[in-house]
Amino acid sequence: MVHAQDVSLPPRLFPLSLSVEAGQVVHLIGPNGSGKSTLLQLLSGLEMPETGHIAINSQRLGGQTRQTLAQWRGYLMQHQRPAFVMAVFEYLSLVLDSLPRQSLQQMAGSARDEAVNHIASRLAVSDKLHRRIDSLSGGEWQRVRLAGALLQVLPSLNPHACLLLLDEPATGLDVAQQEIIYQEISMMAATYGIAIVMANHDLNRTLVHADKVLLLNQGRLVATGRPGQVLTDRQLSEVFATPLEQVSTVNGPVIMRARTS
């Protein structure tokens, strides 16, 4: 469904290839500056690779309008705030404005409101809808932004959407909020068949929630495969330049800093 062939943008990212199928959750992991955000930017179509190409459902991203890209994929960037102040419901309305007009015209207003209220409730921002975005805490704003990204790819609102790109979606969230976020991501993939590609710093979440992992370092692909194949003690310790190991617990394996004698 999503295919990147030998894409690069030196020196931030060197040639790599990636395929993501419908309903698959792919985690991008690696130290800061390893190329995760650059790869997401290229997959979004907002930046073009120096070499290679990217296609969604066999349609190349190069030359597509921003409106077309918005119909195909949702994209949660890092630390993004609108250029002007508005209420949360106005921000979410801007997301709906980017969706296919034909789809929205065929849907009753009550159905649109129901979709917004459902996502807002799931992410615990229903009571924030009439608040100004500049009054929100960092965690509240992160959940509002994620609500917008989920609405953009919700099939009932946008039947053309097939890809959701997330750049560290759990940033600034407490443990309970993180659990909700990962549940929603898993639901979008399993229930609606949305392909998910996300940058992630929580290796233990990757161990549990990812179907496929790309381990990046200094713009290069070090390893790719299932979590158990990629998140090995040796590879993680080398890439993160600190001793890491998987430890068995009653709740399953956990990655932690290795004890040194």
- Neighbouring CB atoms inside 10 A of 142's CB total 23
Sequential pLDDT tens for the chain (261 residues) = 899 999 999 999 999 999 999 999 999 999 999 999 999 999 999 999 999 999 999 999 988 998 899 899 999 998 777 777 899 988 888 888 777 665 555 555 667 788 888 899 989 999 999 999 999 998 999 999 999 999 999 998 889 999 999 999 998 899 999 999 999 999 999 999 999 999 999 999 999 999 999 999 999 999 999 999 999 999 999 999 999 999 988 888 899 998 765
- How would you class 146 by CB atoms within 10 Å of its CB: exposed for 0-12, middle for 13-18, buried for 19 or more? buried
200, amino acid identity: N
Based on the structure, what is the number of domains in the chain? 1
Q: Can you tell me the distance from the alpha carbon of 129 to that of 135, in angstroms, rounded to the nearest whole number?
A: 12
Q: Tell me, what CATH number does 219's domain have?
A: 3.40.50.300
Which sign does the torsion angle of CA 157, 146, 117, 210 carry?
positive
Closest CA to 88 of 39, 134, 129, 56: 129
The pTM assigned to this predicted structure is: 0.93
**What phi and psi values does residue 56 have, to the nearest 5 degrees?**
-115, 120
